[in-house]
Amino acid sequence: MIDASFWKNKKVLITGHTGFKGSWLCLWLHALGANVTGFSLAPPTTPSLFECAGVEKLVHSIIGDVRSQERVQEAIFQARPDIVIHMAAQPLVRYSYAHPVETFSVNVLGTVHVLEAVREAVDSGIAIRAVINVTTDKCYENKEWSWGYRENDRLGGFDPYSNSKACSELVTMSYRHSFFPAGSYTSHRVALASARAGNVIGGGDWAQDRLIPDCIRAIKEGRKIKIRNPGAIRPWQHVLEPLRGYLMLAQKMWEEGSAFAQSWNFGPEDGDAKPVEWLVEKLCASWGESPGCERDTDSTWHEAHYLKLDCSLAKSLLGWKPLWSIEQALDRVVEWNQAYLRGADMRAVSLTQIERFMREAAG
């Protein structure tokens, strides 16, 4: 469960707060009473959840680039956070093939800049206690196993995006051992962890080259849905699932320090790792309309066929487990997007979904 009393008045810095996951996290933390500062580029899409839910009115928003060490340091010294959640990234696989230098610069050097700024801030007396670097399930060296990857499995990544996230994990490991060593609370009282989530879905995602947004655009425009790899199996989950994991992890790190400073998987139950084609059919059934599908023959880039996470560690040590099935998650996506098309108050819709999720998590 999320302890609302813990988050009341906590100062939280989120990088990437204008993105899809970052905007949902800002809404949730604001609802819990936290004081949120965001550092990010402008929203990456138009429309965006950040704008349509009025997230900018709920947080102190700093527009900046994690590729600038100076700007990152200024933001952290200005926010003086208790907790840092680093989510800023170039998050798209196909984009990374076309822009590999940008992808590695944002995802690797951006992580270095954030962790270095944390180190300098703590040396200057700012009491940062917990830092989470959010990466991806794609950071593992994918061997197309039928079982889920565990946190100690080998890192890798074929495409520039996946590989850059594996590099970001190695940067995190280096800073943890070099500057925030386990059990050392002399000069640096910082617990540093990384979080690896599955393929997230949810309302407010308008990114290009993501399955759910591409499907909804096709449905609205009355054209066939293009699918690159219909048989590819992914660990689909609603965006609130890993965010809940990050919040639970941050609290544990704050309270118990280095005991939780490691890598963590947050993915769905095994039965919710479904093929792309299955997901598209279920989404269309929930929407109540199906324009049909066709194979996207324009894609020649390598993509993994099978990917699954083992989340035993989070279940046993954090008490975290997935709440919504993939069918329930798809229903929430449809609910959100159809409300948006009706012109509803999307902050209210989003907060209602968060409140429902928290109620169900509480039993």
**Gap between the Cα atoms of 242 and 199, Å rounded:** 10
**What mean pLDDT is predicted for residues 6-16?**
98
What pLDDT, on a 0 to 100 scale, did the predictor assign at position 19?
97
Q: Which one of 120-124, 195-199, 223-227, 239-243 scores highest in mean pLDDT?
A: 239-243
**Gap between the Cα atoms of 311 and 174, Å rounded:** 23
Residue 185 has pLDDT above 70, yes or no: no
pTM of the model: 0.95
Residue 228 has pLDDT above 90, yes or no: no
283: confidence class by pLDDT, cuts 50, 70, 90: very high
Amino acid symbol at 157: G
Residue 317 has pLDDT above 60, yes or no: yes
Residue 183 has pLDDT above 60, yes or no: no
Query: Token pair for residue 256?
Result: 């118990």
Q: Which residue has the tokens 């100690």?
A: 152
For residue range 129-164, what is the model confidence (pLDDT) as tens digits? 999 999 999 999 988 777 899 999 999 988 999 999
Residue 27 has pLDDT above 60, yes or no: yes
**Gap between the Cα atoms of 333 and 203, Å rounded:** 5
What pLDDT, on a 0 to 100 scale, did the predictor assign at position 290?
86
Q: DSSP code of 160? A: H
What pLDDT, on a 0 to 100 scale, did the predictor assign at position 152?
96
Using a pLDDT cut of 90, give the percent of the chain over it.
79
Residue 248 has pLDDT above 70, yes or no: yes
What pLDDT, on a 0 to 100 scale, did the predictor assign at position 89?
97
Query: Token pair for residue 248?
Result: 């639970």
305: confidence class by pLDDT, cuts 50, 70, 90: low
Going by C-alpha positions, the residue among 188, 37, 185 that lies closest to residue 119 is 188
For residue range 193-219, what is the model confidence (pLDDT) as tens digits? 999 998 899 999 999 888 899 999 999
Going by C-alpha positions, the residue among 86, 184, 177 that lies closest to residue 135 is 86
State which H helix or E strand residue 132 sits in.
strand 130-134
Residue 259 has pLDDT above 50, yes or no: yes
Task: Give Cα 350 to chain centroid, integer Å.
Answer: 17
CA–CA–CA angle 207, 212, 214 (5° rounding): 60
Which of 4-18, 260-274, 340-354 has the weakest average pLDDT? 260-274
Residue 238 has pLDDT above 90, yes or no: yes
For residue range 33-88, what is the model confidence (pLDDT) as tens digits? 999 999 999 999 999 999 999 999 999 999 999 999 999 999 999 999 999 999 99
Amino acid symbol at 224: K
Q: Which residue has the higher pLDDT, 128 or 230?
A: 128
Q: Measured between alpha carbons, how far is residue 232 from residues 150, 300, 303 in Å?
A: 20, 15, 9
CA–CA–CA angle 295, 298, 300 (5° rounding): 105
Task: Give Cα 333 to chain centroid, integer Å.
Answer: 16
- Helix axis angle, 160-178 to 110-123, nearest 10°: 20
Collapsed DSSP state (helix, strand, coil) of residue 317: helix
Q: Measured between alpha carbons, how far is residue 331 from residues 48, 271, 272, 361 in Å?
A: 20, 17, 14, 17
Residue 189 has pLDDT above 90, yes or no: no
**Gap between the Cα atoms of 34 and 293, Å rounded:** 44
Residue pair 194/180 in contact by the 8 Å Cβ criterion:
no
Q: Measured between alpha carbons, how far is residue 88 from residues 70, 135, 155, 196, 252 in Å?
A: 16, 10, 20, 14, 23
Q: Which residue has the tokens 């560690």?
A: 313
**What mean pLDDT is predicted for residues 342-348?**
98
**Gap between the Cα atoms of 57 and 49, Å rounded:** 13
